[in-house]
Amino acid sequence: MAERIIELRDISKSYGQVYALGGVNLSVDRGEVVGLIGDNGAGKSTLIKILSGVVKPTSGEILIRGKAVTGWSAARSREAGIETVFQDRALAVQQTIVRNIFMGRELTGFLGWLKVNKEIEEASRLMREIGFTSKVFTPQSIVGQLSGGERQGVAIARAIYKQAELIILDEPTTALSLTETAKVFHFVRQVRASGRSILFIGHNIHHVFDIADRFVMLDRGKVALTADRSEVKSAEDLINFMEDVAHPGGLAGLHDTGDAERAVR
Amino acid sequence: MSKTMEPDLHEPSTAIPRPQKEWKHPSDQWLRGFILDNRASLGTLGVFIVMMAVFMIANPTVFTTWYLYSSVLTTLPVALFVVVPLVFVVTCGEIDLSFPATMGFASWVFALVVQAGYDPFLGIAAALVTGILLGFLVGSLVVYGGLSSLIATLGMNFLLRGLIQIINEGKSMALTNLADSWAYKIFSSQVYGIPVQIFWAVAFVVLSAMLYNRHRFGAQVRVVGDNPDSAQQMGIDVKRVRVKVFVFVGIGAAIAGTFSVMINFTWWPTAGDGYLLPVLASVFVGGTPTWGGIGTVVGGAIGAVTVSFIQTGVVAAGLSGFYVQFFNGLIIILSLLGHKWNQARYR
């Protein structure tokens, strides 16, 4: 069995009286693409924030390569080899591409002075690596001048620097064009081929179905389904299951399947 | 969400053939790259040169005498030591209005140590420690107390100044033995007629500009000011960075306060009070925008030079002192309009 990169055990998170997550178990093994799906408010965002260390769980255990961690934080998460491409991309748009790629992880030498030339070199290497090249911008271009897809490229370049073991992609295809979406898919396959793992969060079930090896469905703060690729015949299966979970009485009387499918597209 | 993510309907990319070989990125040509990278500070320099030209035409005799420049070069350094750290604070998305009281407080400690008969170097060290502690206090109050820096630092300014006034009952301190000390020779004398303070101030500006552009501290200050949420998501200790900029102001204010006491050989309980508005104006005249994330240390320094020449210049040009405020305002408004046109804000 492949090595377990990260494991969440019985993770709960409450904001005051409101439970966002109530006892979630989730694990990601080396080299697999896990698709995380669920309706709005299912707890996907909270789970991502916990994985990336931005939010601390109320209770539960986080294990990195089999060892329980204490003092979980964003910095610790990145040290452990977990990189997150947030839905809003988490870029500082008035800064250069270089500054964004090395945000929170500046290359420094003596007394904290930046290795400016090394940073520029590494940034242009990363940008070439992910096929993100253009004559119109250099590593020292301001991110605010880039298009949505190019900004996504900067966020991805930041995530793959340092050979992260697990890359979390939060809604990476939302608001992207078809070609840009294809680029993201190509990137995901590349990462899997290199033996690293991806947690792919998506609203578009078809996208998730196309790319993931395993599916985890969240519903109202709990894992409603864990299924291997082989157990699910089609994206429609997933969609139907999602509806069953959300409305146990069945939607059949209210909508035809076409409506439901359009709703998740 | 940004506008650039929506498809651009006005420029269909297929219709316009892209030049392949001739096209060069603007920053490939070093001069254009230099101008693009430093447009804010160059704009400020332009304003300064135009202003000086107007003054010189108005009164050529006064503006060619060295005395005028010598007097500006004596008082300007005091402002520079606080303008530069304030550029960091504003870049970080905060503001600090408590530096005049920190100047007064730190220089008070300096004066106490010198009056007690200790070496002025020890006094400078004590002033620096005071500045660091006060900066940490103000920064912690704002950051960990979750207060608005505009109001909280204004409150701290009154509070600290009030403490100084209560304890000293408005009495000043004369430091006559300062003139013979080594510290005075090193920090406050003249070299070939040039006030030595300006060399220290220029060194401080250069070091700070490097700190801003080529050091992890400056990089994190810019990122935090630009997008604090992202900075936190990327593992930067945002609160710590914010406290650090206030500590930096404390250090600058302590040096500024000590220098102003050494110029006058006297400490007043109001020391530093007059610097609040000119220093703030200098930061923004210099081209650092109010919204955070970007700024320019060198521009701020040129802004400080501009602001300190307004006062001297208006009087020397033969106008009455009543014109000073009017011209101060005029330069500030013109600079802001210029920077508005010169800078694009990316979101």
Residue A200 has phi, psi (to 5 degrees) of -105, 115
- A109 and A190 fall within a common domain: no
The verdict on A55 and A186 lying in the same domain is yes
User: In angstroms, how far is the first alpha carbon of chain B from the final one?
Assistant: 8
Helix, strand or coil for residue B247?
helix
* The two structure tokens encoding residue B112: 């106490």
Q: Is the dihedral of CA A189, A194, A197, A199 positive or negative?
A: negative
Average pLDDT, whole number, for chain B? 88
Whether A72 and A178 map to the same domain: the answer is yes
Q: Which of B23, B233, B344 lies closest to A52 in CB terms?
A: B233
Q: What is the tens place of the pLDDT at every residue in B161-182?
A: 999 999 999 899 999 888 888 8
Q: Which residues of chain A have pLDDT under 50?
A: 251-265
Q: Which of A136, A163, A190 is the last residue of a domain?
A: A163
Q: Do B346 and A136 touch (CB under 8 A)?
A: no
Contact between residue A222 and residue A23 where contact means Cβ atoms under 8 Å apart: yes
Which one of A163, A179, A213 terminates a domain? A163
Concatenated DSSP letters for B251-306?
HHHHHHHHHHHHHHTEE-TTTTGGGHHHHHHHHHHTT--TTSS---HHHHHHHHHH
Q: Does A121 lie in the same domain as A202? A: no
Same domain, A101 and A186: no
User: How many structural domains is chain A composed of?
Assistant: 2
What is the span of the domain harbouring residue A72? 4-81+165-264
Please indicate, yes or no, whether residues A106 and A208 belong to a single structural domain of this protein. no
| Shortest Cα distance, chain A CAs vs residue B153, angstroms | 27
CATH number at residue A54: 3.40.50.300
The answer to whether B39 and B342 have CB atoms below 8 angstroms apart is yes
- Judging by beta carbons within 10 Å of its beta carbon (0-12, 13-18, 19+), is residue A79 exposed, middle or buried? middle
Per-residue pLDDT tens digits for B288-312: 999 999 999 999 999 999 999 887 8
Chain A residue closest in CA terms to B213? A114
Between chain A and chain B, the number of residue pairs with CB atoms below 8 A apart is 109
Reported residue count of chain A is 265
CB < 8 Å to B294, chain A: 94
Query: Among all residues of chain A, which has the CA nearest to that of B214?
Result: A114
User: DSSP alpha helices (H): ranges in A44-176?
Assistant: 44-51, 74-79, 97-101, 116-129, 148-160
At B3-23, the pLDDT tens digits run 444 444 444 444 444 444 555
Q: Which helix (H) or strand (E) holds B18?
A: none
For residue B1, pLDDT beyond 50: no
Domain assignment present for A179: yes
Could you tell me if A172 and A76 lie in one domain?
yes
pTM (two decimals): 0.89
Nearest to A45 by CA among A215, A213, A171: A171
Q: Would you say residue A97 lies in a domain?
A: yes
Q: What is the CATH number of domain B42-341?
A: 1.10.3470
pLDDT at A250: 54
Chain A residues in contact with B233 (beta carbon < 8 A): 52, 54, 74, 84, 86, 90
Contacts of B343 in chain A (CB under 8 A): none
What local confidence, expressed as pLDDT, does residue B310 receive? 86
Cα A200 to Cα A7, A53, A212, A213: the distances in Å are: 16, 17, 7, 10
The closest alpha carbon to A221, from A28, A62, A38, A50, belongs to A38
Q: What percent of chain B has pLDDT over 70?
A: 92
Residue B285 clears pLDDT 80, i.e. is over it:
yes
Residues A142 and A159 grouped into a single domain:
yes
Same domain as A186, residue A250: yes
Q: Quick one: A70 and A170 in the same domain?
A: yes
pLDDT in tens, B38-88: 888 888 898 899 888 888 888 888 888 888 888 888 889 999 999 999 999
Supply the pLDDT for residue A253: 45
Same structural domain for residues A125 and A178?
A: no
Task: Determine, yes or no, domain membership for A88.
Answer: no
pLDDT value, residue B177: 83
Last residue of one domain, picked from the residues A163, A182, A206: A163
Question: Which chain B residue has its CA at the smallest distance from A177's CA?
Answer: B7
* The pLDDT value given to residue B67: 82
Q: Which residues contact A109 (CB under 8 A, 6 or more apart)?
A: A115
Neighbours of A144 (CB within 10 A): 19
Residue A86 lies in a domain: no
Contact B220, B241 (CB under 8 A): yes
Whole-number Å distance between alpha carbons of B206 and B221: 17
Same domain, A259 and A172: yes
pLDDT of residue A260: 45
**B97 or B74, which is more confident:** B97
Q: Is B214–A95 a contact, with Cβ atoms under 8 angstroms apart?
A: no
Q: Please answer yes or no on whether B227 and A116 come within 8 Å at the CB atom.
A: no
Residue B221 has pLDDT above 90, yes or no: yes
